[in-house]
Amino acid sequence: MVRVNRDIEPRLLRAFTAVADELHFTRAAARLYVAQQALSRDIRRLERELGAELFVRTTRQVALTAAGERLLPYARRVLQAQDELAAAFSGAEHRPLLVDVGAPVSTGSQVLTEARHRVGPETELVARFHSGLAGAAAELLAGRLDVSFGRAHGLDPAVLARLEHRLIRYERIAVVLREDHPLAGLEEIPLAALAGETLYAAAGNPTTTEWTDLAAQLFAGRGIAMAEPFPEIEGDEEFIRVVTKRRWSVLASEVFIHLPGTVLRPLTDPVPLSPVSLLWRRDLHHPGLDALHTAARALATTSDWLARPPGAWLPRPEAGGIRDLRMAE
C-alpha cells in the first residue's frame, strides 16, 4: 500500500485541477501562466506522491483516470479552503471587484449602477464588457472576473456546477427589425408572424452559446430560421455596422442597444422570457458582491423584474422552475 504524502503542495493540486478542467496541457498551462514543461513536471510529481496515474495521455486527447476522477472533488475542496484562508488575511475585500455587465445597456449595468450607490468610497466596482455569458464564465473560473450576468442554465452543467448563481430578472425577448420591415409598424410582434423569417441569434459565436441555445428552442416548430454562423462581432459599433450591412433582423432582449434605422419590438403570443441570473465564483467574499445582491433585490422589487405574465414561454430547464431572489430570502 502506498503511503500518501500528507503535505501535498497546493500548487500541484492547482495544476491538476487546471488540466482536469481543460483536458489539454497547453491550455491549462496558459491558464496558470506557466510553461507546459513545468506543468507536466508538477503533474508527474503529484502522481508520484499519490502513487496513482491521474491522466491518460495520447497524441490526440487527455482524459482523467479513475484515480483522477476520485481526486478531483477533494482537490477542489482543498483549493477552495486555501483561497478562503488567503482572502481572510490578505485584505482581498479591499481590492476592486471585476463585474462583467455584458454591455453598457443591460440588466447587469443597471444592477452595477445601483450597487455603486450602496458602497463606500473604499470599495471599487469595475465594469467589464464580455459579449456573452459562456465567454464570461470561462473568465470567472480562471479568476480573471468576479461576477457576471446572463442565462445561467444555458451554460455547460459542469461549468455551472462550479459557480454560484441566482435569478434576478425575467427579460422580455424582442426582435430588432428594419424600419421598412412589413412588421415594423406593430407595437408587439406575434411569434407566428415571424414564420418564414430568418433571425440573427449569434450562431457561431462561442462566447454566447447560451443565447443561441435559447433562440434554437424558441424557433423550433415555429418556422423561424436562424441566420447562418458568423464570426464573433466585438463592440457595439462593429455590431451596428454588420447588422446594417446584412440587413438582419435580430433576436434581442427588451434591454438592448439602439441600432440606427431599426425598431425594437417585444414578442408576444406567447410572451417569451429570458432568465437573467447573477453569477459569481464560489470562493468569492467581497463587500461589492453583497452590494450587488442588495441592488438586484431592490430593483427586482421596485421594477417587478421577477413577474411572469400568464402563459409566458421559458427555455428549458427554466420552464420547470428555478430559484430566484424571492425564494432565497
Please, which pLDDT band fits residue 266 given cuts at 50, 70 and 90?
very high
Q: For residue range 107-124, what is the model confidence (pLDDT) as tens digits?
A: 999 999 999 999 888 889
pLDDT of 283: 77
Integer Rg of the chain from CA: 22
Please, which pLDDT band fits residue 173 given cuts at 50, 70 and 90?
very high
DSSP string covering 265-312, please? EEEESS-BEEEEEEEEETT---HHHHHHHHHHHHHHHHTTTT---TT-
Strand, helix or coil for residue 282 = coil
Is a pLDDT exceeding 60 seen at residue 315?
yes
Residue with cell 432582449: 253
Please, which pLDDT band fits residue 323 given cuts at 50, 70 and 90?
very low
Q: For residue range 71-109, what is the model confidence (pLDDT) as tens digits?
A: 999 998 888 787 767 666 655 556 899 999 988 889 999
% residues pLDDT > 90 (the chain): 61
Q: Which domains, and CATH codes, for the chain?
A: 10-88 (1.10.10.10), 94-169+274-307 (3.40.190.10), 171-272 (3.40.190.10)
Is a pLDDT exceeding 90 seen at residue 201?
yes
**Average pLDDT of the segment spanning 205-227:** 94
d(CA 161, CA 282): 10
Q: For residue range 22-34, what is the model confidence (pLDDT) as tens digits?
A: 899 988 888 788 8
pLDDT of 327: 37
Q: For residue range 219-244, what is the model confidence (pLDDT) as tens digits?
A: 999 999 999 998 888 777 888 888 88
Cβ(221)–Cβ(248) below 8 Å: no
